[in-house]
Structure 1
Amino acid sequence: MGWVRSINYKIHLYMDDNIKKIARTGYVSKGLVYAITGALAFGAAVGLGGSSEGKLGVLKFLQKQPFGNVLLGIVGLGLLCYAFWRFFQSIKDPENIGDNARGMGKRIGFFFSGLVYLGLGGYAIYQIFKPSAGSGGSKSGMLPPEYLPYIFYAIAIGLATKAIFQFVKAYKGEFLTKFHLDAMSNINTRKTIKWLGYAGMVARGIVVGIVAYFFFRAASSAGSEEMKGTEEAFSFLRQSSGPWLMGLVALGLICYGAYMFIMAGYRKFKD
């Protein structure tokens, strides 16, 4: 029955290749979202007419461009691919992260990351097909007010943990092991991967940390009007430290977007 084993092996390789393609497609879409977020925020910082509206603002920006719905659909499907890859990492553990405390922590993080990008991808697709006219339905009253502080504290803790994790990843440089840099002959490629990764992760950690701070504040007041995201994080940077720090962080997010593109092209997967 050797031919059966051969067929099964080929099917296994085919499925692995498909999952890798899905992951790489997801990295490209995630990189595009971060690069545009950073570019728009940098334009706002230096007075070139950009904006700092965050990920949802990027999706709206894409929709306003020529063939906007086509662009939005492509990015939305790519983000859904990234969500699938995160869920696959969390549940199937294809790279043997393990079931110990550290490994499970990473896999739980992958799962929640998948939820975030599932929401973004779903939102992008929804924007294409949603009715043009609003049909009522207020968002208020969806959650009992007494539950809001607990929800906001949970989100704040999760975001703060994510921010710390970004700084730790940048400090330890463990993310570089995904590329097998020692096997790369081009020294300029190795340097580019390193510095884009370091700059992007630090910038992302700063923005996520500020958003976590806003959610802590929202939890203390239990007012949904206090909820703030990436747009307000950039505004906070601009108001507290001037446009230059905001511009540097925006450039860092552009670097993180470029780093995601490099992930799509150079990341090594464990078979």
Structure 2
Amino acid sequence: MKKAKKKYIKYFPILGCISTGLIYSAIGIIAILSLLRLKDGGASKNSLLAYVRDWPGGVLIIWAILLGMLCYIVWRIYESFRDPYHYGNGWKGLARRTGIGLSSFADALIAYSALVVLMGSANFSEDGSAQQQREMTASMLDFGWGKWLVVGLGLLIAVTAAVQLFYGITRGYRERLDIVKFSGKKKATIFFLGFTGYVARGVILGIIGYFFIKSGILKDSDYVVNTDKAFNFIGDHIGKIPFAIVACGIICYGLFMFALGITYDLDNDPSDPNFHPKKG
């Protein structure tokens, strides 16, 4: 018999996965529409949230997304410290747990953007402009140690990007998926979405991190890019096909997060007498 009560925190990742899925699916779709010249930019979380804010009930949607992201951040921190998936305290286990903690950084950026939009403390553009980020970076560069703060932020984003790539390639999310009874095709589809999504997210974060580092080293905030401008960089300097591939990958990441939320293994709990650690 399963435990009658579950820790409420175990439901946090479901809300977080759904919120993340909504954000990234929408960003990927907007990027594709921009590529097809059906929309003028806007493929960034800030622009997306500013756009949603103008919808009927848009503020409620943003509050729901903010709640979901906060729940997910709490869950990721819980995972890092409590180690419910038994990664252990060896160097490999600690590296994986650290990676989980770093992953919450990207989620924190979404939560911050949602909060700023709700508070009206910044006038985010709906066309994907990176002006707000550049103004913030310029303010940081005004301080004597600001250069290294910007470089450090870029390095943190770059490391997060590397974690995303590693996570997707190694299927580091598999412990969280309760898909044992799924058919082979369904499993393959979910793994494809996970691989493609995490790699695409890693590429975008890598570009953003690189330009933050460049901005800090050269003390020029004009180099800073957001997600929308990272897509523009791919389209302008690498090609339209890679742009489309990465945009589709971001949509895949959103779809994967929906699948993860639906199939999240809430019973992988060492406090449960029926718990059996997963292997492989």
Aligned-residue offset at 1:159: 2.4
Q: Distance between the aligned counterparts of 1:14 and 1:161, measured in 2?
A: 34
- In 2, Cα distance between equivalents of 1:65 and 1:190: 36
Match of 1:106 in 2: 96
2:74 pairs with 1:77: no
- Report the counterpart of residue 263 of structure 2 in structure 1: 266
| Post-superposition offset of 1:204 | 1.1
- Alpha-carbon RMSD across the aligned residues, in angstroms, is 2.5
1:44-92 CA distance string (max 9 Å, x none): 0111115244122221121122211111111111111111111211232
In the superposition, the TM-score normalised over structure 2's length comes to 0.80
Match of 1:222 among 193, 203, 219: 219
Please state how far the C-alpha of 1:43 moved relative to its aligned partner. 0.6
The 8 Å contact of residues 52 and 230 in structure 1, kept in 2 or not, is answered as no
| 1:196 matched residue in structure 2 | 193
Using the alignment, how far apart are the partners of 1:248 and 1:58 within structure 2? 20
Q: Hey, what's the Cα distance between the residues in 2 that align with 1:59 and 1:108?
A: 29
Amino acid at match of 1:253: I
Map Cα deviations across residues 27-51 of structure 1 (whole Å, 9 max, x no partner).
1101111111111111101111152
Superimposed CA distance per residue, residues 166-200 of structure 1 (whole angstroms, 9 cap, x where no aligned partner): 3333333343343254x224233212101111111
Matched, 1:54 2:44: yes
Which of 161, 170, 188 is 1:163 aligned to? 161
Q: Which protein is bigger by CA-based radius of gyration?
A: 1
Aligned-pair CA distance for 1:131: 6.7
Q: Secondary structure in 2 aligned to 1:94?
A: coil
Asked whether the equivalents of residues 21 and 255 of structure 2 are also in contact (C-alpha less than 8 Å), the reply is yes
Secondary structure class of the residue paired with 1:228: coil
2:80 maps to which residue?
90
- Structure with the higher fraction of residues in helix conformation: 1
> Residue 172 of structure 1 corresponds to which residue in structure 2?
170
Distance 1:93 1:143 in 2: 38
Where does residue 151 of structure 1 map in the other structure? 149
Structure 2, unpaired ranges of 5+: 124-134, 270-280
**How far apart, in 2, do the equivalents of 1:146 and 1:103 lie?**
38
CA distance in 2, matches of 1:131, 1:252: 32
Matched residue type, 1:48: L
Q: Per the alignment, do residues 239 and 211 of structure 1 end up closer, same or farther by CA in structure 2, a change over 3 Å counting? A: same
> Structure 1 residues 122 and 206 mapped into 2: Cα distance closer, same or farther (>3 Å)?
closer
The verdict on how the C-alpha distance between 1:129 and 1:159 changes in structure 2, with shifts beyond 3 A counting, is closer
In 1, the alpha carbon distance for the partners of 2:172 and 2:223 equals 36
Equivalences, count: 254
Distance 1:219 1:141, change over 3 A: closer
Change (3 A) 1:114 1:160: closer
- Consecutive unaligned residues of structure 1, counting only runs of 5 or more, are 1-8
Residues of 1 paired with 2:258 and 2:196: CA distance? 14
